[in-house]
Structures are given as structure tokens and as C-alpha cells.
């Protein structure tokens, strides 16, 4: 094992798969300089044809990615802030996500990976540069949604994404880029639809989405000092979603908390809660608790952001109440 940052884990995944498949190329704004440091320096190995600096037109280059995918290439699109998904939404949800369905026989493949970079709070970016939009994009059939929370998962999941023939939204929380973690020296892949139990426990099942999972793990450590033993689950992919792992955990704990930074209304927690209500309600002996972001636009500044997304203390307090 070696210890690298989340940013370098993504970089390694891109480099390894690009060396094996010359059809993979990356396109985005300032891609050869890299706002988040992921693709910085890759132009020393790969040509300008494989590191394409795109104009400031997210909808335009997302549509161009679709065209190139239909011609046999494998584009990786970087949106330098998660919020810019909304600017590219028409191309992504109306074209990229639907093209295989609109063409009978399945003769077309659409291997487009959209790296939703720099999403979430952490830089004080305000209402246009800090949103967390996974919940909004669960509503568009045809897309796979990936939410890694650490370097190991980021590399393994991205390598899987780069070998998939379907469009994928790969969410990268901005606070994770500097996070360090162990990654194997040898090649590995993480299958989609396979959640991981980050910590086993018996009192409450807590599902953490993306960086929220790391806050849940900190809360779990504090709660263990009080004799409260929570089981922490990281879904890793929201589409497909590993409900079997969640059901197995609930069969043991009978209690569920879902933690996400995105807004509570219409969020990821809403969808998971509905699934439990429809398929596994008898496993619960208490109401589901959703700990999520406030239903309001984000303020600018790091100080104001802290009041808008769940804190470790808020997670701890909700666990105490549920116990």
C-alpha cells in the first residue's frame, strides 16, 4: 500500500486507463493547468488531443463529448465546479443520458464520464460554487451516479467508470482533494452497486454520502466513548444503489440515520427513505432520521457555510436522540 491524496488517486486512475486505451481523452476548462490539481502535469505524457482545453460553455462541450462517444471515443468531461452541472444539464440529461434509449437495438454506446469536480462547501464559494446536486440528478434515468469519500474508493471507482459504456456522474467533493489515504500499488477496480461498511456497529445504521461519511466516522468514534455503537455505511454509488447491504445492517440495528450535505428536501435521503418504506419498513423500530443541508441557498464565506451543512456535533446529537 502507498499513501496518496484523493486528487492523486483520481489522477492515477486517469493515467493508468489512458495508457491502456488511446480512445480515452479529457476535456474541460483549463484542463492542462487544472484548478484542483488533478490533471496538472499530465500534458508531459499526453498530447493536446487527449487533454482538450474547452471554452467556457459547459453545455457545448458536454454535447461535444456525446458526439465523440458515438464515434468510438471515451470522453472524460471535467466540470470545475459541481454547480456547473446545471449549465450542462440540457446536454447531459436530455441527450447523453437518453441517447441509447432513443436509438432502438442498442447499437450505440455512450461511454461518457462527467467528473463533477469541486462540489460541496469548503471554499466559501457561495450559492453558485458550492452546491451539492446528487439528489437532483437521481431523477434522470440513464445516468449512473458515483460518490467516493476517500482516495481508495476514488481510484477504484473511477477506473471502473472509465471501462463502462454508460454515462456516469462522478462527484468529487472539494474538501476531499487533499485527503490522504492508503491505495494499493497493484491495479484494482471497485464494482458499482457495492456499498462498504466503514465501521461495524449494533445500535444504529448511519449512511453517509460522500464527504458526509467522513464526518459520520468522526461522530462514531466520539459516540463509542459513550457506549453508543453505530454502523457506518458508505453507498459509494447512488445509482446503482446497494440496498442489500443496507437491509442486512437494518436487520441488526433496526434504526437508520442518513447524512448528506445536500438540501434535505428532495435529497438522497428522501429517496433512500422511500425505498425503505416500500421494501423494508418492518426492519425499523423507530422513524428514519435525515440529517441534511438547510433548504436555503448557500451564503458566501466559509463561516456561513458551516451553518448550512450537518456538523459532527449535529450527527452526534441525532444519534443520541435516536438511541
Point out the residues that are catalytic: 129
- Cα 313 vs. chain centroid, distance in angstroms? 23
Of the chain, the end-to-end C-alpha distance in Å amounts to 38
Question: Rounded to 5 degrees, what are φ and ψ at 174?
Answer: -65, -30
Q: Report the candidate in 237, 204, 234, 236 with the shortest Cα–Cα distance to residue 315.
A: 204
217 and 186 in contact (C-beta within 8 Å)? no
Q: Which three cell numbers stand for residue 217?
A: 466516522
Please name the residue that has the C-alpha cell 428514519.
288
Residues pairing with 205 in the sheet: 231, 256
Q: How far is CA 264 from CA 132, 217, 296, in A?
A: 11, 20, 10
A 10 A CB-CB count for 99 gives 18
Amino acid at each position: 500500500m502507498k499513501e496518496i491524496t484523493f486528487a492523486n488517486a483520481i489522477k492515477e486512475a486517469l493515467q493508468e486507463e489512458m495508457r491502456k486505451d488511446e480512445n480515452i481523452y479529457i476535456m474541460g476548462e483549463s484542463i492542462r493547468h487544472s484548478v484542483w490539481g488533478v490533471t496538472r502535469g499530465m500534458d508531459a505524457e499526453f498530447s493536446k488531443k487527449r487533454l482538450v482545453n474547452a471554452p467556457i460553455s459547459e453545455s457545448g462541450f458536454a454535447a461535444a463529448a456525446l458526439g465523440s462517444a458515438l464515434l468510438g471515443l471515451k470522453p472524460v468531461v471535467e466540470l470545475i465546479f459541481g454547480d456547473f452541472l446545471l449549465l450542462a444539464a440540457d446536454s447531459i440529461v436530455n441527450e447523453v443520458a437518453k441517447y441509447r434509449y432513443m436509438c432502438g437495438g442498442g447499437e450505440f454506446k455512450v461511454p461518457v464520464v462527467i467528473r463533477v469536480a469541486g462540489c460541496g462547501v469548503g471554499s466559501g464559494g457561495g450559492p453558485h460554487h458550492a452546491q451539492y446536486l446528487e439528489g437532483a440528478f437521481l431523477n434522470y434515468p440513464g445516468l449512473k451516479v458515483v460518490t467516493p469519500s476517500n482516495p481508495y474508493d476514488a481510484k477504484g471507482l473511477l477506473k471502473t467508470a472509465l471501462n463502462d459504456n454508460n454515462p456516469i456522474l462522478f462527484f468529487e467533493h472539494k474538501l476531499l482533494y487533499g485527503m490522504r489515504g492508503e491505495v494499493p500499488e497493484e491495479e484494482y477496480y471497485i464494482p458499482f452497486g457495492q456499498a462498504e461498511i466503514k465501521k461495524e456497529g449494533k445500535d444504529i445504521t448511519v449512511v453517509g454520502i460522500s464527504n458526509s461519511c467522513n464526518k459520520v466516522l468522526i461522530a462514531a468514534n466520539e459516540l463509542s466513548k459513550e457506549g453508543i455503537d453505530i454502523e457506518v455505511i458508505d453507498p459509494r454509488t447512488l445509482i446503482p444503489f446497494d440496498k442489500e447491504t443496507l437491509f442486512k445492517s437494518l436487520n441488526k440495528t433496526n434504526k437508520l440515520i442518513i447524512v448528506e450535505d445536500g438540501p434535505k428536501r428532495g435529497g438522497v435521503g428522501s429517496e433512500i427513505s422511500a425505498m425503505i418504506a416500500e421494501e423494508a419498513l418492518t426492519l425499523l423500530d423507530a422513524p428514519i432520521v435525515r440529517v441534511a443541508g438547510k433548504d436555503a441557498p448557500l451564503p458566501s464565506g466559509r463561516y456561513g457555510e458551516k451553518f448550512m451543512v450537518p456538523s459532527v456535533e449535529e450527527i452526534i446529537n441525532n444519534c443520541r436522540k435516536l438511541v
